[in-house]
Amino acid sequence: MRLVPRQDSFFDLFDQQVETVNKGAKALEDMITRFTDIEDKAFRIKATEHDADEIVHNTMRKLNTTFVTPLDREDIHALTSALDDIMDFIEAAADRMVLYEIDEPTEAAIKLSQILAEATELTRGAVTALRDMKRNADKIREACVSINRLENRGDQVNRAAMAKLFQQHDKPMEALKWREIYHNIETAIDKCEDVADILESTVLKNA
Amino acid sequence: MRKFRFLPTEENFFELFDEMAQVLVDAAAALNDLITDYQDIEAKAHVLREMEKRADAFTTDICTRLNTSFVTPIDREDIHALAMSMDDVLDYIEAAADRMKLYGVEEPRPEAAELSASLVEGTKIIKTAVAELVNLRHIENVLKPCVEINRIENQADEIQRRALARLFREEKKPLEIAKWQEIFDRLETATDRCEDVADVLESIVVRNA
């Protein structure tokens, strides 16, 4: 019997949050590659973003009421904020697809969404490994290196895509729409790199 | 009689932050005025440029004092992060005004005024929260305004969304769309930067509580 309700640990909350982020990135990839039920899928990504917000809120509340924390307070705060940023840009990208009434995806959008999904999968692996940081130090570091590599690839894809967009003079409106969508996905990938940076420094300090 | 102090005074940093917060409040008000009373744009944008320089000077001043202070009331990196994040808000406020001038906007779209009103609100709340930093015993007085700032950012997100939908629906000239996409982005990013200030404030009080 439990006398007090079970409380999620910081690691439980990180796991929940990174699961949610990964789910959001996969949903965006699915939305862009299969390109069916766009509005419905965007709506669900929005709901996922709300779930993620709720987890950030719980983490912050726990941080404010916990005396001894398993990681430095500033690292917990930074990690939950950076994961939240990824989710925000995923949601913004999905939202703009609907808002701009995009009727078919571009190759670059598909590629970027795949890179993002891969990056969040690696992020998920690295964040869930934090719980046993000492044993997983190498695994976390390797994941961080791979995330950095993906971020570089995202950059390249984005740049090539922008060059192509602005060479097509016949559809300026489409170019302006896609520019913003690419920017959102690319920034979500950048934010995965921010998470990786935080993880690397946390591991350095604690493992 | 004045008490002898062995250690240098600590409250200087808080005073600097209060003053810097006031610059943010003034700049948001100036931007709101530029947008809602759209005339003398050159002069108004110039005033904002001057405010941005003042904020830069504050940031430099804070960093200089940081290098020469033996003790600081809160962690050095926090002081630095707070100054930088406040400076970022101003950069985007100034950039929004600058783009309107630069692109020769003849008449601001109504959503720009909604966003500048959000910034007026957001910077005022930042000022309240910053003023409470000096008393870290009542962290709620800092945390509650931070929640408010988050709410304002969400609201600005929605305004931008609505603004872009209407822009693409009604505007037929691609260049006008491109200009306004950028102006709306600067305005909305300024509210994102307000949220970053709130994040720094939260992290400071959480750690020092």
Q: Which domain holds residue A117?
A: 10-206
Spatial contact of B80 and B66, defined as CB atoms under 8 Å apart: yes
Does residue A1 lie in a domain region?
A: no
Q: Is residue B7 part of a domain?
A: no
The pLDDT score that the predictor gives to residue A112 is 98
> Which residues from chain B sit within 8 angstroms of residue A63, using beta carbons?
206
Domain count, chain A: 1
Any domain includes B26: yes
Give the lowest-confidence range in A28-32, B22-26, B126-130, B133-137: B133-137
**Residue bearing the bigger pLDDT, B157 or A1:** B157
For A183, counting Cβ atoms within 10 Å of its Cβ (0-12 exposed, 13-18 middle, 19+ buried), the class is: middle
Q: How many CB atoms lie within 10 A of CB A160?
A: 12
Give chain A positions within 8 Å (CB) of B151: none
Joined together, the tokens standing for residue A197 give 């940076």
B1 within domain boundaries = no
Say if pTM beats, i.e. exceeds, 0.80. yes
Percent of chain B with pLDDT over 70: 94
How high is the pLDDT of residue A56? Answer: 92
pLDDT band, residue A2 (cuts 50/70/90): low
Residue B123 falls within a domain, yes or no? yes
Helix (H, G, I), strand (E, B) or coil at B173: coil
Q: How many domains does chain B have?
A: 1
Q: How far apart are the CA of B165 and the nearest CA of chain A, in angstroms?
A: 6
Residue A4 lies in a domain: no
- Has residue B87 been placed in a domain? yes
CA angle at A91 for the pair A87 and A94, rounded to the nearest 5°: 140
For position B1, what pLDDT does the model report? Answer: 45
CB of A99 less than 8 A from some CB of B: yes
End-to-end CA distance of chain B: give it in Å, rounded. 33
Q: What is the CATH number of the domain that holds B177?
A: 1.20.58.220
Q: Please determine, for residue A41, whether its predicted confidence score (pLDDT) is greater than 80.
A: yes
Give the residue-averaged pLDDT of B39-59. 94
Binning chain B into helix, strand and coil, the percentages to the nearest 5 are 80, 0, 20
Contacts of B137 in chain A (CB under 8 A): none
Asked whether the beta carbons of A116 and A124 are under 8 A apart, the reply is no
Q: Is residue B5 part of a domain?
A: no
Range of the domain at B43: 12-208
Distance from CA of A100 to the nearest CA of B (A): 7
Residue A39, domain CATH: 1.20.58.220
Average pLDDT over residues B54-64: 89
ipTM score: 0.76
Is A60–B206 a contact, with Cβ atoms under 8 angstroms apart?
yes
Answer whether residue B25 is part of any domain: yes
